[in-house]
Amino acid sequence: MKATLLIQNARIRPLDDKIREAESIAVIGDRILAVGMNGDLAGLAGPDTRVLDLSGRVVLPGFIDAHQHFSTFSQFPLQLNLSPSKVDTIAKMLDSIASETKHLPPGEWIRGRGYDHTKIKDGRLPSRAELDAVSPLHPVVLVHVSAHGAIVNSEALRRGRLDVKTPDPVGGKYVRFPGTGELTGELVGMAAFNFYSENMSGGRMVVPPFERPIRKKALIEAAKILNKVGITGVHDASVAPSYITSYHDACRDNLLTLRVNMLIPYQWLSDLERIGLVGNWGNEWARSTGVKIVIDGAIAGCTAALKDGYSHNPEDHGLLYIADQGEIDQLVRRAHIMGYQACLHANGDLAIEMALDAIEKAQTDDPRPDPRHRIEHCTMVNESILRRMRSLGVIATPFASYLWQHSEKLVPYYGLKRAEAMFAHKSFLDSGVKVAGASDHPAGLLPPLLGVQSMVTRKIPSGVVVGAEQKISVEEAFKMYTRYAAYASFEEKIKGSLSPGHLADMVVLDRDPWKTKPEEIGEISVEMTILGGRIVYP
Ligand SMILES: [Zn+2]
């Protein structure tokens, strides 16, 4: 049997417990046949073998990001980019909408994203009347950079049948003109989500999804951006039905250069129950192992649910999107019985304990072997949380580079002590809790190598170390983004290490991260990404 691809003269870090180092990898089709020294594998080359001489470059397993929002990111190029670096005045915002009206037939949605109210030079948002003046016939929806707010024009309100009589939803509000109570067009929290987000509205949003062929093409294009930073797999943390179909479309046609594990929002749990689609379905391209349940808010948005209040505002304990423990218990139990991982978004210690209570009850009432429930983000932990996670076999997916990205907010919001203990990669490892690497992109920064740098150094951009006790080794940091992420979707037997029989997913780096200054790991370049034995980048 001859290899289809033979990699030689490489410095290979297989991250396999049995094979510490190697020079050569032989691949047949999409699987690894053998890993060893140049001489051992040379005989596997035949006349049709593609031989890649890597002249000493470093090869690692392809990176797997255990929590990000790839389907959301894929839609970015389909929307007007209103981020402050592009558009910083109301006039520019209106201009870009006006020019869009010329490209789209009347009645089509104009969608924008990324405006930041604190960075618009006029010091205010555009009014509904201003939006109507440039777009009287097209409905307009512009989504805030945080995704937790939006502004819309009159045609959009009409499409949503929203008017002065519409009550505010739980967890959100329609901003109104004083006196008349008429809607200004600004939507906050759940009012915005119900308007535009399929995931959060449970499919009852006003803005329709993009057309199916457009969604598929956008996924295929966006995957190339991830391949460029060495990513071969993601866990997409919220995949509603329109994107289950789109992932299916792209994978069926063998066009997606990315493997995806889809976490399905609990809003569709009853549909899964109705059709009897039990957990861990799909294949190595598109799989679903988990049901996503969002309990609390965001770390950077100051809405994580905390037992002790925020440092800058001790009265404030953050937000619980599901405040009723009984409701969380029921959701977890239903996901558990259906064979899914309950993937509970919980940042603050208060929310994490509620998640653990629910998991504990489900596992006590209906014991299931190796359920691998997950706490997404799992930012603020303590000794008792770690002990309970360990004994329940719960997996954590903390932010790899939030410390780097949000350093200026963390200490003022949470105080130095709590900031130092956040993203507790080392505590998880030391306590025997399974933990995987995650970016939360596009809310977080994408490159896994930056995540590795941040976990290894705990340094923020100014050079200050925050939480030295949470530093982990280079080897462990790479395992977070490979083996441990594969474990988090029950795929450690086919992914996450360069081992015989595993999928041939790998990344080639220009430098050895083990021999690079830790502060510079983020600057290492990805020279090549191989997916299932095929070069997908460059
Ligand atoms: Zn997320």
Element (H, E) at 359: helix 349-365
Calpha distance 105→200 (Å, rounded): 28
Residue at a domain's end among 174, 201, 228: 201
Per-residue pLDDT band at 119 (split at 50, 70, 90): confident
Calpha distance 76→21 (Å, rounded): 40
Note whether residue 22 is domain-resident. Answer: yes
Q: Are residues 175 and 287 in the same domain?
A: no
C-alpha angle 11/475/236, rounded to 5°? 100
Residue 235 CA, ligand 1 centroid: distance in Å = 10
Question: What is the per-residue pLDDT for 190?
Answer: 87
Question: What is the per-residue pLDDT for 165?
Answer: 95
Per-residue pLDDT band at 319 (split at 50, 70, 90): confident
Question: What is the per-residue pLDDT for 118?
Answer: 81
Question: What is the per-residue pLDDT for 491?
Answer: 98
Note whether residue 252 is domain-resident. Answer: yes
Q: Are residues 427 and 517 in the same domain?
A: yes
Note whether residue 472 is domain-resident. Answer: yes
Query: Which residues hold their Cβ within 5 A of ligand 1, which is an ion?
Result: 237, 440
Containing domain of residue 36, as a range? Answer: 5-56
Mean pLDDT over each residue of the chain, to the nearest integer: 95
Residue at a domain's end among 171, 201, 231: 201
Calpha distance 360→342 (Å, rounded): 12
Longest dimension (CA), the chain: 84
Residue 285 CA, ligand 1 centroid: distance in Å = 21
Note whether residue 63 is domain-resident. Answer: no
C-alpha angle 219/225/231, rounded to 5°? 95
Per-residue pLDDT band at 439 (split at 50, 70, 90): very high
Angle, helices 325-337/349-365, rounded to nearest 10 degrees: 50
Q: Are residues 311 and 376 in the same domain?
A: yes
Note whether residue 403 is domain-resident. Answer: yes
C-alpha angle 120/125/130, rounded to 5°? 120
Q: Are residues 164 and 222 in the same domain?
A: no
Question: What is the per-residue pLDDT for 277?
Answer: 97
Could you tell me the CATH number of the domain that includes residue 280? 3.20.20.140
Question: What is the per-residue pLDDT for 297?
Answer: 87
Tell me the per-residue pLDDT of 380-399, one tens digit each, with 9 for 90 and over: 999 999 999 999 999 999 99
Q: Are residues 343 and 405 in the same domain?
A: yes
DSSP 393-415: T-EEE-BSSHHHHSHHHHHHHHH
Q: Are residues 191 and 217 in the same domain?
A: no
Q: Are residues 315 and 175 in the same domain?
A: no
Q: Are residues 35 and 95 in the same domain?
A: no
Note whether residue 503 is domain-resident. Answer: yes
Note whether residue 159 is domain-resident. Answer: yes
Asked if 344 and 355 touch (Cβ cutoff 8 Å), the reply is yes
Element (H, E) at 103: helix 90-103
Residue 212 CA, ligand 1 centroid: distance in Å = 24
Per-residue pLDDT band at 330 (split at 50, 70, 90): very high
Residue at a domain's end among 201, 235, 251: 201
Q: Are residues 166 and 252 in the same domain?
A: no
Q: Are residues 449 and 388 in the same domain?
A: yes
Residue 11 CA, ligand 1 centroid: distance in Å = 34
Note whether residue 12 is domain-resident. Answer: yes
Cross-sheet strand order for the sheet of 506-509: 11-12, 58-61, 506-509, 526-531, 534-537
**Residues in the chain, total:** 538
Residue 68 CA, ligand 1 centroid: distance in Å = 6
Residue 236 CA, ligand 1 centroid: distance in Å = 8
Residue 377 CA, ligand 1 centroid: distance in Å = 8
Residue 126 CA, ligand 1 centroid: distance in Å = 29
Residue 347 CA, ligand 1 centroid: distance in Å = 11
Q: Alpha helices, DSSP H only, in 206-348?
A: 212-228, 241-252, 269-275, 325-337
Question: What is the per-residue pLDDT for 192?
Answer: 94
Residue 237 CA, ligand 1 centroid: distance in Å = 6
Q: Are residues 158 and 269 in the same domain?
A: no
Q: Using the structure block, give the residue that is written with the tokens 């080794």.
A: 473
Question: What is the per-residue pLDDT for 84?
Answer: 87
Residue 67 CA, ligand 1 centroid: distance in Å = 6
pLDDT of 405 higher than 90: no
Residue 513 CA, ligand 1 centroid: distance in Å = 27
**Model confidence, pTM:** 0.94
Residue 147 CA, ligand 1 centroid: distance in Å = 12
Residue 366 CA, ligand 1 centroid: distance in Å = 28
Number of domain units in the chain: 3
Residue type for position 15: L
pLDDT of 171 higher than 90: no
Q: Are residues 247 and 162 in the same domain?
A: no
Question: What is the per-residue pLDDT for 426?
Answer: 98
Residue 321 CA, ligand 1 centroid: distance in Å = 14
Residue 294 CA, ligand 1 centroid: distance in Å = 9
Question: What is the per-residue pLDDT for 528?
Answer: 98
Could you tell me the CATH number of the domain that includes residue 183? 3.10.310.70
Residue 399 CA, ligand 1 centroid: distance in Å = 9
Residue 505 CA, ligand 1 centroid: distance in Å = 24
Residue 292 CA, ligand 1 centroid: distance in Å = 10
Give the count of alpha carbons within 13 A of 150, CB side only. Answer: 25
Could you tell me the CATH number of the domain that includes residue 32? 2.30.40.10
Residue 438 CA, ligand 1 centroid: distance in Å = 9
Residue 440 CA, ligand 1 centroid: distance in Å = 5
Give the count of alpha carbons within 13 A of 266, CB side only. Answer: 21
Residue 239 CA, ligand 1 centroid: distance in Å = 11
Tell me the per-residue pLDDT of 66-106, one tens digit each, with 9 for 90 and over: 999 999 999 999 999 999 889 999 999 999 999 999 999 99
Q: Provide φ and ψ at 389, rounded to 5°.
A: -60, -45
Asked if 407 and 466 touch (Cβ cutoff 8 Å), the reply is yes
Tell me the per-residue pLDDT of 456-495, one tens digit each, with 9 for 90 and over: 999 999 899 999 999 999 999 999 999 999 999 999 999 9
Tell me the per-residue pLDDT of 5-55, one tens digit each, with 9 for 90 and over: 999 999 999 999 999 889 999 999 999 999 999 999 999 999 999 999 999
Tell me the per-residue pLDDT of 197-255, one tens digit each, with 9 for 90 and over: 998 899 999 999 999 999 999 999 999 999 999 999 999 999 999 999 999 999 999 99
Mean pLDDT of 104-132: 92
Q: Is 146 exposed, middle or buried (0-12, 13-18, 19+ CB in 10 A)?
A: middle
pLDDT of 180 higher than 90: yes
Mean pLDDT of 515-538: 97
